[in-house]
Amino acid sequence: MGALDLSFFNRELITNFLWNGFVFSVELTLVAMAGGILLGTLLALMRLSDRSWIALPAAAYVNTMRSIPLVMVILWFFLLIPFLTGRPMGAEWSAVITFTAFEAAYYSEIMRAGIQSVSRGQVYAGNALGLTYAQTMRLVILPQAFRNMLPVLLSQTIILFQDTSLVYAIGAYDLLRGFSTAGRNFNRPVEAYLLAAVVYFVISFSLSSAVKQLQARIAIAR
């Protein structure tokens, strides 16, 4: 084989191929994280409800999402959204909706564990103070659940960031697509995929090291 030739990796490559993809991957991660945690918290509250007509649909949604490969979920949404709305939707927007809906199922399992980790006395205390259910949840339980689960929520977000590469299946232009397009254009696939691996590794590894430190600090505070 020829030696690795990284000469094509320059400023132009970054601005022409990689930057847009990188921005999209980050946006997709952040939007799906925010939306997923919000929806996931709602799903978790639904699942913990005493009324089965509220709990069962939430459980069914979460279990279905968790038992299907993400790639299939991506394909499903890409097929169904235009079918239901009657107009075509770009791969990027479809990916944003898919990841929000999909990650909500995983975040909801984390939030459910978080809510259950708060002692029952806290609920009684809220009730005794005359707070409504909504107030008890919003002001007493959820802040503690969220704090307890913060490292796990962030770890899930790192997995989410890695999973965004799967939008490859519907041709959305993300970080990986940027690298593979550049590799094809310069006829340097080996170098392009190696660089892609390095970039993903550096981002994921530094984020998970940060989460580990955060975890240690939270553990001491408790």
Q: How far is CA 48 from CA 53, 136, 180, 216, in A?
A: 11, 14, 44, 29
Minimum distance of other proteins from residue 84's CB (angstroms): 8
Nearer to other proteins by Cβ, of 186 and 200: the residue is 200
Nearer to other proteins by Cβ, of 76 and 146: the residue is 76
Is 42 buried (19+), middle (13-18) or exposed (0-12) by CB count in 10 A?
middle
Q: How far is CA 148 from CA 38, 122, 193, in A?
A: 16, 14, 37
Q: Which of 162, 171, 185, 213 binds other proteins (CB under 8 A)?
A: 162
Number of residues engaging other proteins in binding (CB under 8 A): 32
Q: Which of 16, 127, 181, 204 binds other proteins (CB under 8 A)?
A: 204
Tokens 């009684």 label which residue?
Answer: 124
Spacing of C-alpha 17 from chain mean position: 24
* C-beta separation of 78 from 167 below 8 A: no
85 scored as a contact of other proteins (CB under 8 A): no
69 scored as a contact of other proteins (CB under 8 A): yes
Residues binding other proteins (CB under 8 A):
1, 67-72, 75-76, 79-80, 83, 86, 162-163, 165-166, 168-169, 176, 180, 189-190, 193-194, 196-197, 200-201, 204-205, 208
